[in-house]
């Protein structure tokens, strides 16, 4: 322990012996660490938004269906539990929100065009916290109750159908007996979404109205539950599964959308690979700095060995010097990352490339996400790999023969 | 008891195609409290002998004893311990650690030995005063003259009171006045602390300070003179 003090002092002072080289290396490490964290924050933000948007667009965190609904999403595969029973089970449960829906495929027809859509029969009050759009931002108005007689469609769908608020359209689907169930609706509102594809996909009518049209009393096809965080859905999942029997199928969002679930896992791996790749580039500079530092100090390393310092202490001194350099570089990099990401957390406008990003479910705004875990990961990787990279020059320094080192010219 | 005893030491270096005999069956015995000069022209083997005595170099054959213990068969770690605890070194140049102050350089060996901070501070202040460097404690080597740097090196060598001090050409880079001052200092330390000094040099003036002068040539001892008797 008594040695540690002198090793720290030697390492710190030697670090600043060639301050220009140290500052350049600190800059390189700082920028490298900044790049690691900044790029990770952008990627995390994009994936986070893709998942949040995708989950926000109807799936929620946990869903309940008839076991066959996923293969055949028709009204025949209704949830076996009545709406009244669902209310009794879940009204007092500790969810952020939950709602039951009638969700079936349908055809919507204007006087000019027809289009396949997903018909959503919803209770606007229950759906408000799950909806991906703000009711107040709907052009016209959103549905006012479960028995509202109007229909709300996306702006893009209205353009495709060449129709507008106030005009009538016809919805057509099938009832449980596979007979045609159709009805005319007047368009009362047009909603906007992050992507044009979503604006084309869904048509909203009142839940009770949908049940009457499809002749299913108070049956629904989908129950959606929202917890606090999409990364931690187990509490919600367990609460729902414990309340129902196996006549219904309860699934988490990543069971339903395996692409998104996989993407979250892949992204964690990508972040690690990205951090390691940047570090590998940095490591050349780090090793070179240490090799030069050792090379310039051969004689005094020889002197210390001659005076009785053990090779292990020389090894420790070079490693401590490397750790000082890395720690300072990490402080610079983490600060730069924090200082550049926090002001951008309100969003970066990427509308120039929005159409391309839409393909992946991303919107025209990118919100970088700075997670402490990513900063810790980047710092941990840099320290660990930096330590390993420093071992070689430190080991070589500790192997010097004092007589040869002290007379080195 | 002998401070140093060397028995039949041999050491050969290879230089190009040639084998150079740096030590050729060298045997000497140095008593505690002796002040010995090893004198030889360049390449005569004095530094090799000094390194062998200090455990910095291992002879090809022969035996080296320091304070009664054999050292030529010790491991690197044991030799490092021996140098740390029993031997003080003064080299010709690059004697000090540039990033440490004069006091820190003097304390270096004691700190590696594990001497408590307060004790180190007291000893280093006292020894720096003794070698005439009071007031220069916080200067770094780059801020001191060559003579002052050598004094710091001497202070470091004797600070932990080693039984043996080995000095390799300690005056080579000093002007004559500073060299004389340094040798006076060595002499005083030898007398006051009974420290054994072995100094390798080819400086005639340095030799006059020694109680015993050992002349070497081509790796062999050619003369061993007790100057006190003279």
Q: Which of A299, A255, A316 is nearest to A400 (CA)?
A: A299
pLDDT confidence bin for B61, thresholds 50/70/90: very high
pLDDT confidence bin for A1, thresholds 50/70/90: low
Looking at chain A, which residue has its C-alpha nearest residue B115? A2
**Cβ pair B94:A299 closer than 8 A:** yes
Is residue A263 scored above 80 in pLDDT? no
Is residue A105 scored above 70 in pLDDT? yes
Distance CA(A193)–CA(B149), nearest Å, equals 78
Chain A CB contacts of B82 under 8 Å are 308
**Count of C-beta atoms within a 10 Å radius of residue A69:** 22
Cβ–Cβ contact B98 with A under 8 A: yes
Say what the pLDDT of residue B10 is: 94
Q: Of A85 and A11, which is predicted with more confidence?
A: A11
Select from A10, A403, A406 the Cβ nearest to the Cβ of B99: A10
**How many Å is the Cα radius of gyration of chain A?**
31
Q: For residue B180, what are the CA distances in angstroms to A172, B35, B144, B170, B176?
A: 114, 15, 18, 11, 6
Q: What percent of chain B has pLDDT over 70?
A: 99
Cβ–Cβ contact B51 with A under 8 A: yes
Mean pLDDT (whole number) for A254-268: 79
Mean pLDDT (whole number) for A27-41: 90
**Cβ pair A308:B83 closer than 8 A:** yes
Mean pLDDT (whole number) for A134-151: 91
- B14 forms beta bridges with B19
pLDDT confidence bin for A169, thresholds 50/70/90: very high
Select from A17, A308, A311 the Cβ nearest to the Cβ of B112: A308
Cβ–Cβ contact A298 with B under 8 A: no
Distance CA(B154)–CA(B169), nearest Å, equals 13
Is residue A56 scored above 70 in pLDDT? no
Cβ–Cβ contact B101 with A under 8 A: no
Cβ–Cβ contact B177 with A under 8 A: no
**Cβ pair A6:B56 closer than 8 A:** no
Select from B80, B81, B97 the Cβ nearest to the Cβ of A300: B97
Q: Rounded to the nearest 5°, which phi and psi values hold at B62? A: 100, 180
Q: Look at phi and psi of residue B16 and say left if phi exceeds 0, alpha if psi is from -120 to 50, else beta.
A: left
Say what the pLDDT of residue B81 is: 92
- CA–CA min distance B228, chain A (Å): 31
Looking at chain A, which residue has its C-alpha nearest residue B87? A307
Structure tokens at B140: 């770094």
| pLDDT tens digits, A294-346 | 888 898 899 999 999 999 999 999 999 999 999 999 999 999 999 999 888 88
Distance CA(A133)–CA(A58), nearest Å, equals 11
Return the residue in B48, B49, B56, B172 with the most chain A beta carbons within 10 A, the one to mutate for interface testing.
B56
Looking at chain A, which residue has its C-alpha nearest residue B114? A2
Distance CA(B91)–CA(B101), nearest Å, equals 18
Class of domain B2-226: alpha beta
Contacts (Cβ under 8 Å, ≥6 apart) of A346: A367
Return the residue in A22, A308, A321 with the most chain B beta carbons within 10 A, the one to mutate for interface testing.
A308
Can you tell me which residue has the tokens 């309940």?
A64
Q: What is the ipTM of this complex?
A: 0.91
Q: CA torsion angle for B139, A321, A27, A337 (degrees, to 10)?
A: -120
Say what the pLDDT of residue A365 is: 74
Distance CA(A249)–CA(A270), nearest Å, equals 33
Q: What percent of chain A has pLDDT over 70?
A: 94
CA atoms within 13 A on the CB side of A371: 14
Is residue A130 scored above 90 in pLDDT? no
**Where exactly are the structural domains of chain B?**
2-226
| pLDDT tens digits, B135-163 | 999 999 999 988 899 889 988 988 888 88
Cβ–Cβ contact A296 with B under 8 A: no
Say what the pLDDT of residue B100 is: 95
Interface list for A 8-37 with B (CB within 8 A)? 9-10, 13-14, 17
Structure tokens at A340: 């550049």
Chain B CB contacts of A404 under 8 Å are none
Q: Rounded to the nearest 5°, which phi and psi values hold at B123? A: -65, -45
pLDDT confidence bin for B123, thresholds 50/70/90: very high
Looking at chain A, which residue has its C-alpha nearest residue B165? A307
- CA–CA min distance A298, chain B (Å): 11
- CA–CA min distance B227, chain A (Å): 31
């Amino acid at each position: 322990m008594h040695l540690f003090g002198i090793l720290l002092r030697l390492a710190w002072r030697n670090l600043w012996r060639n301050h220009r080289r140290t500052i350049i290396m600190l800059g390189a490490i700082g920028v490298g660490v900044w790049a690691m964290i900044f790029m990770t924050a952008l990627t995390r933000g994009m994936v986070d938004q893709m998942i949040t948007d995708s989950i926000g667009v109807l799936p929620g965190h946990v869903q309940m269906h008839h076991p066959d609904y996923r293969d055949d999403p028709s009204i025949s595969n209704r949830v076996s539990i009545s709406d009244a029973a669902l209310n009794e089970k879940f009204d007092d449960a500790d969810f952020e929100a939950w709602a039951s829906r009638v969700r079936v495929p349908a055809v919507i027809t204007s006087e000019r065009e027809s289009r396949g859509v997903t018909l959503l029969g919803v209770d606007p009050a229950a759906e408000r916290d799950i909806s991906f759009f703000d009711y107040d931002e709907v052009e016209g108005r959103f549905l006012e109750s479960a028995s509202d007689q109007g229909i709300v469609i996306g702006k893009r769908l209205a353009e495709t159908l060449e129709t507008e608020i106030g005009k009538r359209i016809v919805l057509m689907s099938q009832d449980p007996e596979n007979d045609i169930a159709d009805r005319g609706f007047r368009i009362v509102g047009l909603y906007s979404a992050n992507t044009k594809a979503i604006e084309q996909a869904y048509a909203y009518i009142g839940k009770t109205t949908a049940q009457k049209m499809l002749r299913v009393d108070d049956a629904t096809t989908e129950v959606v539950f929202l917890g606090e965080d999409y990364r931690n859905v187990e509490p919600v999942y367990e609460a729902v599964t414990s309340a129902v029997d196996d006549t219904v199928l309860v699934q988490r969002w990543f069971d339903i959308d395996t692409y998104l679930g996989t993407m979250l896992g892949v992204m964690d791996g990508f972040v690690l690979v990205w951090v390691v790749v940047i570090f590998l580039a940095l490591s050349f500079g780090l090793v070179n700095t240490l090799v030069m530092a050792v090379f310039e100090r051969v004689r005094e390393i020889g002197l210390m060995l001659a005076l009785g310092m053990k090779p292990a202490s020389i090894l420790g001194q070079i490693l401590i010097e490397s750790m000082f350099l890395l720690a300072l570089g990490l402080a610079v990099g983490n600060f730069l990352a924090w200082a550049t990401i926090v002001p951008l957390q309100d969003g970066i406008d990427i509308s120039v490339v929005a159409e391309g990003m839409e393909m992946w479910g991303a919107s025209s705004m990118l919100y970088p996400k700075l997670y402490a875990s990513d900063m810790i990961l980047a710092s941990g990787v840099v320290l660990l790999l930096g330590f390993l990279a420093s071992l070689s020059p430190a080991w070589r320094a500790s192997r010097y023969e004092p007589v040869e080192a002290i007379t080195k010219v | 008891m002998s401070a140093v005893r060397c028995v039949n030491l041999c050491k050969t270096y290879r230089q190009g195609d040639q084998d150079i005999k740096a030590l050729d069956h060298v045997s000497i015995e140095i008593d505690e409290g002796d002040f010995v000069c090893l004198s030889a022209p360049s390449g005569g083997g004095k530094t090799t002998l000094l390194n062998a005595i200090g455990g910095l170099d291992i002879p090809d054959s022969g035996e080296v004893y320091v304070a009664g213990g054999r050292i030529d068969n010790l491991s690197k770690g044991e030799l490092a311990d021996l140098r740390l605890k029993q031997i003080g070194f003064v080299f010709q140049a690059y004697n000090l650690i540039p990033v440490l102050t004069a006091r820190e350089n003097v304390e270096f060996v004691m700190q590696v030995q594990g001497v408590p901070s307060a004790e180190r501070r007291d000893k280093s202040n006292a020894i720096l005063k003794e070698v005439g460097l009071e007031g220069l404690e916080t200067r770094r080597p780059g801020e001191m003259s060559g003579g002052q740097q050598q004094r710091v090196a001497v202070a470091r060598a004797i600070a932990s009171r080693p039984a043996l001090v080995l000095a390799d050409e300690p005056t080579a880079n000093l002007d004559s006045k500073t060299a004389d001052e340094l040798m006076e200092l060595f002499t005083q330390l030898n007398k006051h602390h009974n420290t054994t000094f072995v100094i390798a040099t080819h400086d005639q003036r340095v030799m006059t300070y020694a109680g015993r002068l050992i002349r070497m040539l081509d790796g062999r001892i050619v003369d061993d003179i007790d100057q006190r008797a003279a």
